[in-house]
Amino acid sequence: MAYAYDDQNIFAKILRGEIPNDTVAETEHTLAFNDIYPQAPVHVLVIPKGPYVCFDHFAAEASDAEIADFHRVAAKICADLGVAPGDGGKGYRTISNAGEHPVQEVPHYHMHILGGRPLGRMLQKTD
């Protein structure tokens, strides 16, 4: 695996405090903030604080503590924002884009949490 992390990406700037964000949750290893162009009433981005480009990079190279914290923060947000089915919510979708085909815009690993309205099927077949 060969990933080169670009520390000039916009989420790296958010983590350094160079540009503002609308924080939802923060821990030692993880930051979560509202997407600037929300696609649903709930649209939160969860990012690790470490320099990981995408999901497989994070899963392969982050520490167990970073990986556990990331997922616990994401799950707590689903519960806190009232979309987790186990808490009576109507559900949510997590999305993580990696690379070219899914159009990853920001090369710092992030999980989208989307909910608060019907989201339709996951993908529309176009060919």
Q: What amino acid positions are annotated as catalytic residues?
A: 110
Least gap, CB of 11 to ligand AMP (angstroms) = 8
Dist CA 88 CA 94 (whole Å): 18
Binding residues for ligand AMP restricted to 89-108, rule: CB under 6 A: 97, 103-106
DSSP per residue, 16-66: TTSS---EEEE-SSEEEEE-SS-SSSEEEEEEESS---SHHHHHHHS-HHH
Rule CB under 6 A: is residue 37 a binding residue for ligand AMP? yes
Rule CB under 6 A: is residue 127 a binding residue for ligand AMP? no
Least gap, CB of 71 to ligand AMP (angstroms) = 18
